[in-house]
Amino acid sequence: MTEDRLRHLLGIEDLNLRSAERVLDTAQAFLEVTRRPVRKVPALRGKTIINVFFEASTRTRTSFELAGKRLSADVVNIGGSSSSTSKGETLRDTVNTLDAMHADVIVIRHAASGAAHYVARYSRAGVVNAGDGMHEHPTQALLDAFTIRQHKGNDFKGMKVAICGDITHSRVARSNALLLRMLGADVALAGPRTLLPSGVESFGCRVYDRIEPALDGADVVMMLRIQRERLGAPLLPALREYARVFGLNSTRLRLAKPGALVMHPGPMNRGVEISEDVADGPHSVILNQVESGVAVRMAVLYLAASEPGTAALADG
Amino acid sequence: MRTLLDPESVARGLRRIAGEIVERHAGAPDLVLVAVRRGGIAVAQALAKWLSELEGHAPPLGSVDITLYRDDASTALPNPRIGPSEIPCSLDGRHVILVDDVLYTGRTVRAAIDAVMDYGRPRLIELCVLVDRNGRELPLQANYFLKAETVQSDERVDVFQDERGLSALVQAKSAPSIPPAAPRPGESS
């Protein structure tokens, strides 16, 4: 029962070490649930979870939807193009409407950084950020950390993690860097100089404009998706050029430790940021990340849907 | 504070119950013990030891955590910690014996039965406890118990384990609780 309690999961920046590990420990119990003959527990029976995705995302939305259903909650999905937003409704009115429907948890993805914070300010529901603009994607970072724990144990001290790609536009990179640093890992960020944000030093990570020094001796390699919509802009060279200089292939992977994990948040551009043989190779835990995603989101929804003053995310 | 069961009487009682189980289940070929976390684990381990002495082999031993099955799952717990559930084999067609330390309101057993059902369709489920106390809120009873005891509403029954074995005692509800009866396997904290 401490003051740092959270009802919402808006970003890794709102968590502390204790609350982050709490989510990861809870997810461990839920991973077991997802492997049972009956993959459903009655924990959130009678609760309503509304997924509001203003940006398209099949993977994350499906993962949240499955997580909610496996907790026996009623789950409703609202997509951006089908919602009233396309008819001109403001985000504030959308929030009021969802509140009037007595949503217990609102899961929101939005192209605007800070959208989840905005919803949390005006809603009575617990709010989970499923990605807001270039800001944060906390459940992705938590599921990545969970996947690493499954393979490398719970101690991140001294673990070397390389995060490679478009760091500037990546909320995945930002949330991961924050969480992995909090857990004690040594994080290296690598990308073309044009895709490294100004002020990147504040993340407390090593920063490189080439991929090789980041890969050197790494225990974990996270490749970020190159967003094709950013191609052709002055920031990014052609795809083939990017693959040649920044793509992860089996030759470059030899720079990392033997037994290093290769991760990707998906969806992958095969042959661009990651080569075919690495994506499907023995180091890849990309499908484990998907499985972890449901367990971690079950933990987050369970903690967020509990009554105010009881099982909030951040109390120890 | 008064002692209900000392380690010697727990050992004698569990040996008797192991005998009853073997007799009733005709040598217990399909038996599975499922402990209700966390209080049931030490009891189930001790019971498995006696069954092993009688039959030459111990039945499979699993455990369920009932946190997610409580009828007050999302409202009552100040700080839910969900422990692992470990079921070592399919429960389809098996004779499951749920093992817990104390039977009181019956709500925990109700939740544990629901949890077990999610792992398969047992042939039957029975319940074994050390202490059967008054205060039932659901129509449930134990098939095997060491001791039935009437306990006042301002008292509680604690089961704990030390190097001499398991004991049960009654003390005031306000008394500080005794550390759990068994270490929590698979948990770091």
On average, the pLDDT of chain A sits at 89
> Which of A1, A26, A36 is nearest residue B82 as measured by Cβ atoms?
A26
Q: Summarize the confidence of residues A170-197 as an average pLDDT.
A: 94
Residues 6+ apart with CB under 8 A from A29: A299, B65, B82, B83, B84, B85
- For the ranges A92-96, A180-184, A188-192, which has the lowest average pLDDT? A92-96
B45: distance to nearest CA of chain A, Å? 22
Domain boundaries, chain B: 2-70+85-172
ipTM of the complex: 0.75
A286 in Cβ contact with A255 (< 8 Å): no
pLDDT the model gives residue A212: 97
> Which of B73, B80, B119 is nearest residue A36 as measured by Cβ atoms?
B119
Say which of A59, A92, A228, A254 is annotated catalytic: A59
Q: Is A60 a catalytic residue?
A: yes
Residues 6+ apart with CB under 8 A from A285: A147, A151, A261, A262, A263
For an interface test with A, the pick among B38, B67, B68, B187 (most A C-beta atoms closer than 10 Å) comes out as B68
Does the distance separating the beta carbons of A32 and B68 come in below 8 Å? Answer: no
Looking at the predicted structure, is the pLDDT value of residue A5 above 90? no
| Full-model pTM | 0.86
Does the distance separating the beta carbons of B65 and A37 come in below 8 Å? Answer: no
Looking at the predicted structure, is the pLDDT value of residue A2 above 60? no
Residue numbers in B near A48 (CB within 8 A)? none
Which chain B residue is nearest to residue A309, measuring alpha carbons?
Answer: B78
Does the distance separating the beta carbons of B78 and A42 come in below 8 Å? Answer: no
pLDDT the model gives residue B115: 93
Looking at the predicted structure, is the pLDDT value of residue A294 above 60? yes
Say which of A109, A135, A149, A174 is annotated catalytic: A109
pLDDT band at residue A227, thresholds of 50, 70 and 90? confident
Instruction: List the B2-5 sheet strands across, edge first.
Output: B2-5, B165-172, B155-162
Place of tokens 């930002």: A174
pLDDT the model gives residue B74: 59
For an interface test with B, the pick among A22, A23, A25 (most B C-beta atoms closer than 10 Å) comes out as A25
Residue numbers in B near A310 (CB within 8 A)? 74-78
A29 in Cβ contact with B65 (< 8 Å): yes
A44 in Cβ contact with A305 (< 8 Å): yes
B120: distance to nearest CA of chain A, Å? 7
Phi, psi (rounded to 5 degrees) for A303? -70, -35
A116 in Cβ contact with A110 (< 8 Å): yes
User: What DSSP string describes A33-81?
Assistant: HTTSSS---STTTT-EEEEEESS--HHHHHHHHHHHHHTT-EEEEEETT
Work out whether strand A160-164 and strand A220-223 pair parallel, antiparallel, or are unpaired: parallel
Q: Is A160 a catalytic residue?
A: no
Kindly list the structural domains of chain A, giving each domain's residue range(s) and its CATH number in brackets, ordered by start.
12-136+291-305 (3.40.50.1370), 138-289 (3.40.50.1370)
Query: Residue B52 is which amino acid?
Result: S
3-state secondary structure of B31: strand
Instruction: List the A160-164 sheet strands across, edge first.
Output: A206-208, A186-190, A160-164, A220-223, A261-263
pLDDT band at residue A315, thresholds of 50, 70 and 90? very low
A59 in Cβ contact with A30 (< 8 Å): no
3-state secondary structure of A279: helix
- CATH 3.40.109.10, domain B2-70+85-172, yes or no: no
Looking at the predicted structure, is the pLDDT value of residue B107 above 60? yes
Work out whether strand A186-190 and strand A206-208 pair parallel, antiparallel, or are unpaired: parallel
Q: What confidence tens digit (pLDDT) does each residue in B79-100 have?
A: 567 877 889 999 999 999 999 9
Which chain B residue is nearest to residue A315, measuring alpha carbons?
Answer: B79
Q: What confidence tens digit (pLDDT) does each residue in B134-167 have?
A: 999 999 999 999 999 999 989 999 999 999 999 9
Q: What confidence tens digit (pLDDT) does each residue in A241-266 have?
A: 899 999 999 999 999 999 999 999 99
Q: What confidence tens digit (pLDDT) does each residue in A44-82 have?
A: 999 999 999 998 888 999 999 999 999 999 999 988 665
